[in-house]
Amino acid sequence: MLNAFSVDVEDYFHPSEVQRYVTPEQWDGLPSRVEGSTRLMLRLLDRRGVRATFYVLGWVAERHPELIRSIAGAGHEIGCHSYAHQLVYDLTPEQFRADTLRALEVIQQACGVRCTSYRAPSYSITEKSLWALEILAGLGFTHDSSIYPIEHDRYGIPGFGLGARRMATAAGSILEVPPATVRLSSTRVCPVGGGGYLRLLPYRYTAAGVRRINQVEERPACLYVHPWEVDPGQPRLAKGRVARWRTYSGLEGMEAKLERLMSEFQFSTVSGAFPV
């Protein structure tokens, strides 16, 4: 079974968990580490012969265009991760469209690619922001991977459905590709596709989940990680016990876990594993 592997290209100060303590106005004053951690990820993928989808933050593309050219030049799919990493449900439709257009422009300037796959910051397309799918379809996106079919304190649409599904909008259809989850009962769904779960839990949790999705449910799994998740040396900006645990636990062992994951399962891009 061919699964999707994806990387959300953002710096260590971009995650929503960290933005509670660092404002966007401070970003340019912080030492960037996205180049080194993303190139480490590129080397890991190259060793395993894996082509992935890199969802690029426009803010990063604007400041590190050579990095985005390297990603595209290595044969990976380039996707859009917004421009400023703002939660979709905190924006108006007009603000969301403007942010997405700005991201598309700077990413295309950096590497010559017009993105057709989108992922919202922190999976923030929820019930109250489903209007975003129509805007994405109207902008020419064929794939979206922004809806987590779970209940979470910051995102998710419980009951959405675990597999990829085509969403009809007034501007056309778009294929929604949720991150990997496993159904344990009629009411309980467990997420297994995120880098956080791979970092925080034993490797066998993610491996068992992907194996069940492939062999029992007979469908591909969509996994995602961030470059900062393979960077144990990053500054610790998040505060509070829960925020620091979510963000920084397991960084030291993440690269080895990813190596093992890629040796045990087959991966491709989002559009490769989930063709339209």
What does the alpha-carbon distance between residue 38 and residue 61 come to, in Å, rounded to a whole number?
A: 12
- 181-183 and 165-169 strand pairing: unpaired
137: which 2 tokens? 């379809």
Residues above pLDDT 70, as percent of the chain: 100
Query: Which distant-in-sequence residues (6+ apart) come within 8 Å of 201 by Cβ?
Result: none
Cα–Cα distances (Å) from 276 to 164, 174, 203, 220, in that order, read 10, 9, 31, 14
Q: HSE-up of 128 (CA within 13 Å, CB side)? A: 9
pLDDT tens digits for 240-257?
A: 899 999 999 999 999 999
261: which 2 tokens? 């994951």
What does the alpha-carbon distance between residue 71 and residue 55 come to, in Å, rounded to a whole number?
A: 11
In the structure, what pLDDT confidence band is assigned to residue 184 with cuts at 50, 70 and 90? confident
pLDDT value of position 185: 77
pLDDT tens digits for 71-98?
A: 999 999 999 999 999 999 999 999 999 9
Say what the pTM is: 0.97
